[in-house]
Amino acid sequence: MIIGVDYYPEHWGKEFWIPDADLMRKTGVGIVRMAEFAWSRLSPKEGVYTFEWLDEIIGIFRERGIKVILGTPTNCPPRWFCEKYPDAIPVGRDARPNPIGIRGHRCYNHPDFLRHAGDMIERMTKRYAKEKTVVAWQIDNELEANFCFCKRCTEKYRAWLKEKYGDLESINKFYGNEVWSGEYSSWEQIDPPFGTYPAAWLNPAYMLDFNRFASDDMIQYVDFQAKIIRRNCPEAKITTNVWFCENMPDFYKTFAGLDFVSFDNYPPTKIPEDAGQFYSHAFHLDLMRGIKRQGFCVMEELSGEPGCWSPMGRMPYPGMISGYSLQAFAHGADAVVHFRWRTAVSGAEMYWHGLIDHSNVPGRRFKEFEELCRVARGLKDIAGTQILSEVAILYSADNEYAFKIQPQTNGMYYLGQIRLFYEALMKYGLNIDIIGEQEELSGYKLIVAPEMYVTDPEVVKKLYAFVKKGGTLVLTNRSGVKNKYNNCIMEPLPAPYRELVGCCVLEYDPVGYDHVAVRFADGSNYRAGQWCDILKPEGEETKVLACYNSEFYKGSAAITENKYGSGTAYYIGTVGEQEMYVHLLEKILQECGIAYIEGLPDHVEITTRTGKDITARFLFNNAGEVRQFILDGKEISLQPFEMRIERSDIK
């Protein structure tokens, strides 16, 4: 298992390089990511190239046995470029060019940008093609879906629509443009969503398509870079680093043509009061592993107090830096690269702390990092092991967009819904896959599919087949609401899933922040909120598991269970407190025959990695206090953020 650091040699005088590299080697750093913002240092003037410094620092790492990931520096074109091609700066929703000097000031579609970026990548990849120290390439940095509103991108958007629909009549029909006189009579009338008013004021069909275009267009830019890298460095691995940003691309399509997933992981340094929040980093990590259903890399990992983009946050609690790195391994990462080796002394990010502070004296956090490197070196036998799971939660980029475009009710958001299930399942010490809705489902016993809002008929078919063959499915409110154009389906909800779940929605109540009571047949009571589907059981074998116990619909069904083929489909019409899911999922796990651990205290996570000859169980205390519990008859006590790894050989 590899621990690395993000390093910016261009920020430091050369006198730092050798001592830094020596200290990295001594500490056990295995890999360094560099150069993703260094374009002006690699080409200070048009036609002038200064790769020598990069050669030198790569050489320094080579001599010390430290591998290198090179970033293509295309995130930040140099000033000479911006001066010469001012219209290569992306245009914001306000129709104005974005400022230069922040970063990300490049339009993915500007021909001169692509020419210069292509030239830079061509030169870099050719130069380091034979350099064995360079093992991977990172494309650009934290790319977002293309929300550039310049003329060129607008044209591309129109072309994308033309390709998809062929003619304006189809667009008008599928978007329902007769509403508010929105019908297009020429392609030039189609613009991206200018203006800063809420997305919900615009036609949802148009907005969903725009998000899809923005994602596809970013992916085209990724593929443009990947092609050059692949041509010149056929053996190198290619990635790009993603995060949960405002304009998220479709992660599954983004990585389809790349070799591995990279993720920037910054768990909050303030210990959250809400117990559920503790599982959010684990959730993100599992989602990342699910993108390619293989090991991944954390390309940037928390190393110090966050700041800059917001006022500074709390310093990482003792154990956090090491604990969150090991947590990433426990959820399937194979490499964790810490952001950053040194804290910047200039530039806007000087308060986003790295491992070594401004004082230039390695302190408490650095010591912890040293210890982490030591522990990671001892995990050689875990490299190549996999996280096997009988449970998968489905995720869909379309649903993510559609919920952002039209928030359904106060407090409800798509990832939040998924996390409710994730957090409840984590309480049972299970490995959990989070996979794209397009993925193959065989091998799973239980599929949890929260809010299948935008309907893909192929996915519907697959879910029916999964249950028919004996699988267990959990569906929820806001499923089957929209067709693939993001318009409402004119059928009782959950429309295409009605037969599968054996019930339909008579009426719904978007209660938002209000609360209702839900009572299970076994007498247990829970608080629910956000949404209440009032259900009518319809199937011969539909059982009502819980009813509303307040409001005028008291006594109506809230949660049902239905036999379909050889399997079972559950429908949860409301959004409960976490304990409700914990309660319900225990019954479901038992019925599916999935082994689980009982009695784990809050914030304790257990995952398992399995290899040919070994299984390794990771016990992690994701809390700021000691946690004690009994596991397999043994008393376990974990310090705050402690990770314990238990191995057993497979005979």
Catalytic site positions: 142, 300
The 22-61 site mask, x for binding ligand GAL (CB under 6 A), equals ----------------------------------------
* 45 DSSP 8-state letter: B
- Residue 191 near ligand GAL by CB under 6 A: no
Q: How many residues bind ligand GAL (CB under 6 A)?
A: 8
Name which of residues 335 to 364 contact ligand GAL (CB under 6 A): 339, 349, 352
Q: How far is the CB of 23 from ligand GAL (least distance, A)?
A: 22
Task: Give the CA angle between residues 213, 395, 516 to the nearest 5°.
Answer: 115
Q: Measured from the CB of residue 296, what is the shortest distance to ligand GAL in angstroms?
A: 16
Which sign does the torsion angle of CA 394, 398, 401, 407 carry? negative
Residues 126-155 that bind ligand GAL (CB under 6 A): 141-142
605 touches 510 (CB < 8 A): no
Q: Select 113 or 339, whichever has its Cβ closest to ligand GAL.
A: 339
Which sign, positive or negative, has the C-alpha torsion 630, 635, 640, 642?
A: negative
x/- mask, ligand GAL, residues 216-245, rule CB under 6 A, reads: ---------------------------x--
Our CB check for ligand GAL shows the closer of 245 and 388 to be 245
Closest by alpha carbon to 597, among 631, 634, 646? 631
- How far is the C-alpha of 397 from the C-alpha of 407, rounded, in Å? 15
Q: Which residues, including other chains, have CB under 8 Å from residue 562's CB and lie 6 or more apart?
A: 500, 501, 502, 503, 539, 541, 542, 543, 568, 569, 570, 571
Q: Cβ of residue 352: shortest distance to ligand GAL, in angstroms?
A: 4
The smaller minimum CB distance to ligand GAL, of residues 141 and 146, is found at: 141
In the Cβ-directed half-sphere of 317, how many Cα atoms lie within 13 Å? 18
Residue 512 — left, alpha, or beta (φ > 0 → left; ψ -120 to 50 → alpha)? left
Q: How far is CA 220 from the centre of its chain?
A: 20
Q: Where are the beta strands (DSSP E) in 235-358?
A: 237-239, 241-242, 262-265, 296-301, 333-338
- Which residue lies nearer to ligand GAL by CB, 42 or 528? 42
To ligand GAL, the closest distance from the beta carbon of 106 in angstroms equals 15
Nearest approach, Cβ of residue 241 and ligand GAL (Å): 6
Per CB under 6 A, the list member of 140, 209, 264, 286 interacting with ligand GAL is 264
Span 279-318, contacts to ligand GAL by CB under 6 A: 300
**DSSP class of 210:** H
**Helices in 352-405 by DSSP H: which ranges?**
364-377, 397-405
b (16+ CB within 10 A) / e for 564-586: beebbbbbbbbbbebebbbbbbe
- CB closer to ligand GAL out of 142 and 605: 142
Which token pair is 519? 């009572």
Residue whose CB is less far from ligand GAL, 128 or 339: 339
Site string for ligand GAL, 529-558 (x = CB under 6 A): ------------------------------
Determine which helix (DSSP H) or strand (DSSP E) holds 41, and give its type and residue range: helix 39-42
Question: Tokens in use for 595?
Answer: 């082994």
Nearest CB to ligand GAL, comparing residues 142 and 642: 142
Interface with ligand GAL in residues 603-632 (CB under 6 A): none
What single-letter DSSP state applies at residue 246?
A: T
Residue 352 or residue 620: which is nearer to ligand GAL going by CB?
Answer: 352
Minimal distance, residue 93 CB to ligand GAL, in Å:
21
Tokens 């019908």 belong to residue = 183
* Token pair recorded at residue 448: 């949890």
Closest distance of CB 162 from ligand GAL, Å: 35
Residue 547 CB, shortest distance to ligand GAL, in Å, is: 46
**Nearer Cβ to ligand GAL, position 312 or 465?**
312
Q: How far is CA 213 from the centre of its chain?
A: 19
Residues in CB range of 598: below 8 A, 6 or more apart: 428
Torsion of CA 620, 622, 628, 630, to 10 degrees: -40
| Closest distance to ligand GAL from the beta carbon of 58 (Å) | 20
C-beta of 71 vs 436, nearer to ligand GAL:
71
Q: Give CA–CA dist 541/563, Å, rounded.
A: 6
Helix axis angle for 151-165 and 204-232, nearest 10°, is 100
Nearer residue to ligand GAL within complex by CB, 268 or 510: 268
Q: Are 545 and 520 in contact (CB under 8 A)?
A: yes
Yes or no: say if 477 and 575 are a contact pair by the CB < 8 Å rule: yes
Which whole-number Å values give the CA distances from 601 to 55, 427, 597, 627, 638, in the listed order?
Answer: 51, 8, 11, 7, 11
Q: How far is the CB of 124 from ligand GAL (least distance, A)?
A: 19
Residues that bind ligand GAL (CB under 6 A): 141-142, 243, 264, 300, 339, 349, 352
